[in-house]
Amino acid sequence: MQIGVDLGGTKIEAVALSDNGKTLVRQRIATPRQDYGATIRAIAGLIHNVENELKERCSVGIGIPGAFSAATGLVKNSNSTWLLGKPLDRDLAKQLGRPLRITNDANCLTVSEATNGAAAGMRVVFGVIIGTGVGGGIAINGRPHIGRNAIAGEWGHTSLPWPQPGEQPGPSCYCGKQGCIETFLSGPGLARDYEGTTGITATAAEIASRAAAGEQTAIQALERYEERLARALAPMINILDPDVIVLGGGVSNIERLYQNVPRLLPQFVFSDHLTTELVKAAHGDSSGVFGAAQLWRPDELADATRELV
């Protein structure tokens, strides 16, 4: 059996899958923010709880916000900043007493959706996480494309294209730059934009509810968001030309995105005809955890459950 773990900025989720992909156990806990040691213990405890319920030792794959530096072997590019510069893979392997597979959470989402989700059967898939942060991953023929520097698909830390008045230099980002796509399109980015025009603090979900109820300032905030999302996705289509773009993360639950953004995209894409689909992740905010479970191939599972010597 396979366990997948999704380490998020606010929650850690684990799922256990049978050999035929059936969900056997699912558990969630809150992420111990700003505490690296507590995060290690929380992940290990969650895995032990799942295995105790199953009464079986499993392979473990983990999706994290960020990647591992090829130069240092330490976590880089994570908006969960307490992970930065840490040997997360080694510390977790030591804590659990077995080898692990760990990769970027957007890669996990993309593989999950490309194999048995909203993009099943598609050859080239661009998967997007728009939640606490903004991430991206690429799957080709159902396998993740990581890239030479382990940053393939990381569109969230490029500048918002074709900036409009008032968008430059843009909000400060944790990466040290200003005006990153993440600062505009993350859930906190949408909330910041709405608060800037109304003075009201609200989450992305609350803004969507206010817009659905007819509040004009909320509708205008979502219109700005949709136009920015179209501008941000267009260069990825120009460069990658994927068969489909899959949206995941909390903000992806705003249903109007799937009607409005495709209508805006053609004006920014370098083509006379656009057929790239924009779809919602079939597994919702659990796509990443399902993809993490699939990081081990069936022929590798015996090694995945052995004890470290």
The reply to whether 82 falls in a domain is yes
> Which stretch of 26-30, 289-293, 297-301 has the lowest confidence by average pLDDT?
297-301
| Residue range 2-55, pLDDT digits in tens | 999 999 888 899 999 988 888 999 999 999 999 999 999 999 999 999 999 999
Whether residues 44 and 160 fall in one domain: no
The per-residue pLDDT for 303 is 57
The per-residue pLDDT for 19 is 84
Whether residues 20 and 68 fall in one domain: yes
The reply to whether 71 falls in a domain is yes
Whether residues 41 and 142 fall in one domain: no
β-pairing, 59-64 with 23-30? unpaired
Whether residues 234 and 92 fall in one domain: no
Is residue 306 pLDDT above 60, yes or no? no
Query: 211 vs 298, which has greater pLDDT?
Result: 211
The reply to whether 112 falls in a domain is no
The reply to whether 133 falls in a domain is yes
| Residue range 234-284, pLDDT digits in tens | 999 999 999 999 999 999 999 999 999 999 999 999 999 999 999 999 988
Closest CA to 63 of 144, 7, 16, 116: 7
Distance of alpha carbon 41 from alpha carbon 19, whole angstroms: 27
The per-residue pLDDT for 41 is 97
The per-residue pLDDT for 10 is 83
Whether residues 15 and 133 fall in one domain: no
The reply to whether 113 falls in a domain is no
Q: Phi and psi for 256 in degrees, rounded to 5?
A: -65, -20
The per-residue pLDDT for 170 is 96
Whether residues 236 and 215 fall in one domain: yes
Whether residues 124 and 271 fall in one domain: yes
Distance of alpha carbon 58 from alpha carbon 55, whole angstroms: 10
- For residue 12, CA distances in Å to 24, 28, 31 come to 17, 6, 6
Whether residues 162 and 219 fall in one domain: yes
The reply to whether 309 falls in a domain is no
Q: Tell me the pLDDT of the chain averaged across its residues.
A: 93
What whole-number percentage of the chain has pLDDT above 90?
85
Is residue 305 pLDDT above 80, yes or no? no
| Residue range 78-124, pLDDT digits in tens | 989 999 999 999 999 999 999 999 999 999 999 999 998 999 999 99
Distance of alpha carbon 16 from alpha carbon 43, whole angstroms: 14
Whether residues 131 and 239 fall in one domain: yes
The reply to whether 114 falls in a domain is no
Q: How far is CA 190 from the centre of its chain?
A: 17
What whole-number percentage of the chain has pLDDT above 70?
96
Q: For residue 149, what are the domain limits?
A: 120-281
| Residue range 157-184, pLDDT digits in tens | 999 999 999 999 999 999 999 999 999 9
Is residue 300 pLDDT above 70, yes or no? no
Give me the CATH number covering residue 265.
3.30.420.40
Structural domains in the chain (count): 2
In one letter, which amino acid is 231?
R
Whether residues 256 and 175 fall in one domain: yes
The per-residue pLDDT for 294 is 86
Is residue 301 pLDDT above 90, yes or no? no
Token output for 96: 């659990």
Q: How far is CA 277 from the centre of its chain?
A: 19
Distance of alpha carbon 239 from alpha carbon 155, whole angstroms: 11
Whether residues 124 and 270 fall in one domain: yes
The per-residue pLDDT for 276 is 97
> Which stretch of 125-129, 151-155, 217-221, 305-309 has the lowest confidence by average pLDDT?
305-309
Distance of alpha carbon 170 from alpha carbon 191, whole angstroms: 15
Residues 109, 112, 118, CA angle at the centre, nearest 5°? 95
Is residue 69 pLDDT above 90, yes or no? yes
Q: For residue 4, count CB atoms less than 10 angstroms from its CB and return exposed for 0-12, middle for 13-18, buried for 19 or more.
A: buried
Whether residues 182 and 268 fall in one domain: yes
The reply to whether 138 falls in a domain is yes
